[in-house]
Each structure stands twice: as C-alpha cells, then as structure tokens.
Amino acid sequence: MKRLALAAVLALAVLGPALAVNPDEILPDPALEARARAISANLRCLVCQNQSIDDSDAELARDLRIIVRERLLAGDSDEEVTQYLVDRYGEFVLLNPVLAPHTIVLWVAGPLVLLVGGVLVFLGARRRTRRVTPDTPAPLTDDEVAALAELEEHGSPGATHRPLP
C-alpha cells in the first residue's frame, strides 16, 4: 500500500509542471506553440520567482503565457515578444539576466567569489602543512642546546641522573 501511495505521489509530482499550461492556452499551430514554449521557458514567474512561467500555476504566469501567445499570433518574432515583456515588466522577468554594464556584477560576482575562496583554501592548506606537527619537534635554539649540555654534564640538583637517548 505504501508503494502504491509513493508511486501516485511521484506520478503527480512529475505531471505538475506539465499541467501548468492549461489546454485552453495551447495554440492550434504546433510550430507557434513550440515557439511559445521556448519563450516561456526563459521567462520568470513574477510570483514564484524561481520558476519559468511555463512551470508556474500562478495567475500572473498564466496571463504572461497568454500574452506570449497573443504576441506570436500577432506576428512578433521571439525577440520582439521577449522585449515586449521586458519593456512591460523589467529585466527581472528574464530567468537569465542579460550581460550589460548594469548587470556585470551579477555575472562577475559568482566566479570571483569562487576564485577568492579557492585561493583562501589553497593558502590555508599550505599554511597548515608548514606548521610544526607534534611528530616533528622544532629544532632547539642555541640557548636550549647550551642548557641541555649543562644539564647532561652536571645534572639537576635532587634528580637522579639518567642518560638522554
């Protein structure tokens, strides 16, 4: 019984994104519908924010899907449809930000943080390997060597003398 319930939940989870586009929205022309799907896959749902409008069940996503299809039926190119929505809703409607002077920080920040983090990890690992480990004692200073020689020669008062290894 548990397996059947798990199978049903997984089947519904897989069908969820496919159900976002309602049957009444689908264009009769398969070529136009394919273009609409391609455009919608790159547009952000302004309600969900991390889903494309094709995957979202939000009412605003539905409205955007309808606008995309209306613009395609009006004869707009894919770029014109996208630009229409950017003009209307701003660049935030794009799932992938454009590479422009005002978005350069978005494109550079991720790799830059990764690079700086990698350098810091590398330097930290090098510093750790240079440290003196308990297995390898630090060399004695001249004062310590002299004090050790004096102890070996005279011994410490009140202690039994045994030779050092």
State the CATH number of the domain containing residue 65. Answer: 1.10.8.640
Supply the range of the domain harboring residue 123: 98-132
Whether 81 shows a pLDDT value over 80: the answer reads yes
- What pairs with residue 52 in β-bridges? 44
Task: Please give the pLDDT value at position 46.
Answer: 87
Task: Please give the pLDDT value at position 19.
Answer: 46
Task: Please give the pLDDT value at position 135.
Answer: 66
The candidate with the shortest Cα–Cα distance to 67, out of 91, 88, 46, is 88
The answer on 91 and 22 residing in a single domain is: yes
Q: pLDDT tens digit string along 29-79?
A: 889 899 999 999 999 998 887 889 988 888 999 999 999 999 999 999 999
CB 85: neighbour CB atoms within 10 A? 21
Q: pLDDT tens digit string along 93-108?
A: 998 877 788 778 878 8
The answer on 110 and 54 residing in a single domain is: no
The answer on 19 and 84 residing in a single domain is: yes
